[in-house]
Amino acid sequence: MNLFTESNLSPDILKAIGEMGYESPTEIQKQTIPFILSDIRDLIALAQTGTGKTAAFSLPILDMIDDTSRKIQLLVLCPTRELCLQIAKDIKNYSKYMQNIKTTAVYGGSSITEQMRSLKDKPQIIVGTPGRVIDLINRKALDFSAIHWLVLDEADEMLSMGFKDELETILSETPETKQTFLFSATMNKEVERISKNYLTKPHRISVGSINEVKKNITHEYYVVGYRQKKEALKRLIDANPNQYSIIFCRTRMETQEVADFLMQNGYAADALHGDLSQAQRDTVMKKFRLKNIDILVATDVAARGLDVNSLTHVIHYSLPDDPEVFVHRSGRTGRAGKDGISMALIKPEESRKLKQIKFSTKIEINEKFIPTGDEIIKAQVGGVFEKLFTEHEDLFEFDDKLIPDLSNFTKEELVHQLLQFQLKDLALYYKDKHDLVEQKLSNRDDDYSRRDRGRDRDRGRDRDRGGDRGRERGGKPRRKNENMVRFFFNLGKKDQLKKLDVLDIINKATAGKSKKRAEIGDIEILEKFSFFEVEKSFKGDLLNNIQSMKFRGKDMRAEEAN
């Protein structure tokens, strides 16, 4: 079935979807439409949002529904109000030319009496969230005795939102003769259990792998300590100008914290999570859809209700526990034939988790380094030109006479001036900022339940920019290390010397031909001078090279301390 016209669907349906611009069926539609039209078995379909799931089940059902009966024949259960409204809207569009077919959406956070009134229209199709459906069952406003088809949409999400009991109650209220279709983006134990208990010998369909790993998404990861995560995030955003992205967090609190940080730093960002009221969530989603904000910080659950196809980036601020959630999150970008980038911030102790994700999803995730100030400015310059030439619109007229005489400037000088003007704030911010300390993955156990311990470890640790090979141990008493030499250094706090500068200086002074890097020990910065420890075998290099280096214009001098 390469075209809808080959699908045996009725002319009314073909006309409606033709007007909606659907030409050929999507992968999931190719598999489910012929199945539902011809088979009486239950079905488990693994597919993500955005794959055309709604049409996949509703088109064949609309084709078979009895429009002379006024009883409920199709019940679609889904996790959120947004999804509920979206599905109901789609079904109404598909049945536009089926005069007698009525669809009603029932969901929480909205007047139940009004919904009960609309049920008096006797719709054949109900799309609802589990909680509200139960409420309506209890008020005897829903009669499920004639249900032919039951669709559990985003079953995994309904279960993770705690709708298990509601689902079981509803499933037991519907006739045994019905055909059940379970759609899920991920397959986990809970979904398996529900399907085992409530589906009979289901046929299984999956689009690609469980979660299709899209080829047009580039995956990157950045190792960063807990303390530097927000700054690293800021840099990733700055280094990817003109982005339209979702940042995924693990908890509601983290989501709000990250969104607050971005808003305080002047980004057009907002938070989307379950602690917000329905009205607040609606407002945020609307702002994001209209691109009044271009960065949305969200929990996995809250982001499910959002259907946007043009995301440029997905940022995993925190890794999910389930590798499939990683694929699912990443799959929010790279839609509609566009390329996408997925970037993950990984804490040094999360190496096992990263390995697990790589192993079970087979995704190639490449390590990248947090961009430096220079790299960010370069990217921003590129971003200015990209915007200049792709978003140009003549919105207003102005008299050329308003342009002053610029004949004394070359084209390059003018562009230079404009860029300086445009990027001034950003350039000022990064001017004296140190690059972030480069981190390496450690092989430590990264059990998430030990997160706080990891966090505390992070707090006490600051590695040098070369990674594992050097480590600052600010605390006292100092440990004597036979392989280290202690140096006196002529610069101190009065010269604005910081530990990071010392690490930088040592790395530069000891960077020889061999790839091996010097191990760095204690660094002690005093008012007028400092001390530091460096691996013994680098002593000669250090003493030689440091003489010809300068720090803020000052000569440097080091000698072995007593």
Please report where in the chains the tokens 């990027």 appear, as a residue.
423
Q: Please, which residue, 25 or 373, has the CB nearer to ligand AMP?
A: 25
Q: Is the Cβ of residue 50 or residue 241 nearer to ligand AMP in the bound state?
A: 50
Within 114-143, which residues bind ligand AMP (CB under 6 A)? Answer: none
Binding string, 255-294, against ligand AMP, x = CB under 6 A?
----------------------------------------
Cβ-based nearer residue to ligand AMP, 53 or 347: 53
For the CB of residue 54, give the shortest distance to ligand AMP in the complex, in Å.
Answer: 3
Structure tokens at 82: 């947004």
**Least distance to ligand AMP, CB of residue 4, Å:** 7
Per-residue binding string, ligand AMP, 25-54, x by CB under 6 A, is xx--x-------------------xxxxxx
Q: Choose among 123, 13, 141: nearest CA to 75.
A: 123
| Rounded alpha-carbon distances, angstroms, from residue 69 to 111, 115, 193, 548 | 27, 21, 34, 91
* Binding residues for ligand AMP, total number by CB under 6 A: 12
Shortest reach from residue 26's CB to ligand AMP, in Å: 5
Residue 52 CB, nearest distance to ligand AMP (Å)?
3
Positive or negative CA dihedral for 17, 211, 368, 429?
positive
Q: Which of 22, 244, 267, 529 binds ligand AMP (CB under 6 A)?
A: 22
Element of type H or E holding 272: strand 269-272
Point out which residues pair with 367 in neighbouring strands: 221
Our CB check for ligand AMP shows the closer of 51 and 245 to be 51
Q: Compute φ and ψ for 206, nearest 5 degrees.
A: -140, 145
206 binds ligand AMP (CB under 6 A): no
Identify which of residues 52 and 470 has a Cβ nearer to ligand AMP in the complex.
52
Query: Helix and strand tally (H, E) in the chain?
Result: 21, 22
Measured torsion, CA atoms of residues 213, 214, 215, 217, in degrees rounded to the nearest 10? -110
Closest CA to 361 of 329, 320, 323: 323
The strand ranges marked E within 462-556 are 463-464, 467-471, 484-489, 520-525, 530-535, 550-551, 554-555
Can you tell me the distance from the alpha carbon of 53 to that of 304, in angstroms, rounded to the nearest whole number?
14
Nearest approach, Cβ of residue 393 and ligand AMP (Å) = 26
Least Cβ distance, residue 19 to ligand AMP (angstroms)? 12
Nearer CB in complex with ligand AMP: 10/481:
10
Question: At its nearest, how many Å lie between ligand AMP and the CB of residue 351?
Answer: 35
Q: Which residue's CB is nearer to ligand AMP, number 233 or number 306?
A: 306
Contacts with ligand AMP, 52-81, as mask; x by CB under 6 A: xxxx--------------------------
Residue 534 C-beta: closest distance to ligand AMP, Å: 58
Task: Name 488's bridge partners.
Answer: 531, 559
User: Of the ranges 20-28, 70-78, 178-186, 232-240, which one interacts with ligand AMP (CB under 6 A)?
Assistant: 20-28
- Contact pattern for ligand AMP over residues 307 through 346, marking x by CB under 6 A: x---------------------------------------
Give the per-residue SS3 of 121-161. Answer: CCCCEEEECHHHHHHHHHCCCCCCCCCCEEEECCHHHHHHC
Rounded to the nearest whole angstrom, what is the least distance from the CB of residue 5 to ligand AMP in the complex?
A: 12
Backbone angles phi, psi at 86, to 5 degrees: -65, -45
Q: In terms of CB distance, is 257 or 307 closer to ligand AMP?
A: 307
Q: Which is nearer to ligand AMP, 16 or 159 (CB)?
A: 16
CB of 152 to ligand AMP, least distance (A): 15
How far apart (Å, rounded) are the C-alpha atoms in residues 120 and 361? 48
User: Which residues lie closer than 8 Å to 528 by C-beta, 6 or more apart?
Assistant: 492, 493, 494
d(CA 281, CA 81): 11
Q: Which residues bind ligand AMP (CB under 6 A)?
A: 22, 25-26, 29, 49-55, 307
